[in-house]
């Protein structure tokens, strides 16, 4: 068995690890906005009825769905779009280059979630249990 064949056999599990890690990293942004945990000074006291507050709700709900692998493609669609909007609204105007405008992370999240729209949840998902993977 070639190395490529062996590695390909673990593709669904590797995709699930990417999905779960991305969800755990992304949910922190929403939780910091909504419940101040983890505490980020610049995200403290965000009004729920503001654009940033609504973004926090979308981040928490979408990340929870992605974490569980439930409605993964739909949640990834919304999170990818939200991250893209955040990039262009808050970072792009500072510089064309993400390394200069501080937008590397949000751009990377947008592309990871964009990939999940097409790749699906991988292994260990509720979508798989529902026959929707």
pLDDT by 10-residue block (mean), the chain, 133 residues: 96 98 98 97 96 97 98 98 97 97 98 98 97 87
Proportion of the chain in helix, strand, coil states, percent, rounded to 5: 75, 0, 25
* Per-residue model confidence (pLDDT) at position 6: 97
Enter the pTM of the model.
0.95
- Sorted by where each begins, the domain ranges of the chain are 13-120
User: What value does the CA radius of gyration of the chain take, rounded to a whole number of Å?
Assistant: 16
* Confidence at residue 133, expressed as pLDDT on a 0 to 100 scale: 81
pLDDT given for residue 57 in this prediction: 98
Structure confidence at residue 89 (pLDDT): 96
For tokens 């390909």, the residue is 8
């Amino acid at each position: 068995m070639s190395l490529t064949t062996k590695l390909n056999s673990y593709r669904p599990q590797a995709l699930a690890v990417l999905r779960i890690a991305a969800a755990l990293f992304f949910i922190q942004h929403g939780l910091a906005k909504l419940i101040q945990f983890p505490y980020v000074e610049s995200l403290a006291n965000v009004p729920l009825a503001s654009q940033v507050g609504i973004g926090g709700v979308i981040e928490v709900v979408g990340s929870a769905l992605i974490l569980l692998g439930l409605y993964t493609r739909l949640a990834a669609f919304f999170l990818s779009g939200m991250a893209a909007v955040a990039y262009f609204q808050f970072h792009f105007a500072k510089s064309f280059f993400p390394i200069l405008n501080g937008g590397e992370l949000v751009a990377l999240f947008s592309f990871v979630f964009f990939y999940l729209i097409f790749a699906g949840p991988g292994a260990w998902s509720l979508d798989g249990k529902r026959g929707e993977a």
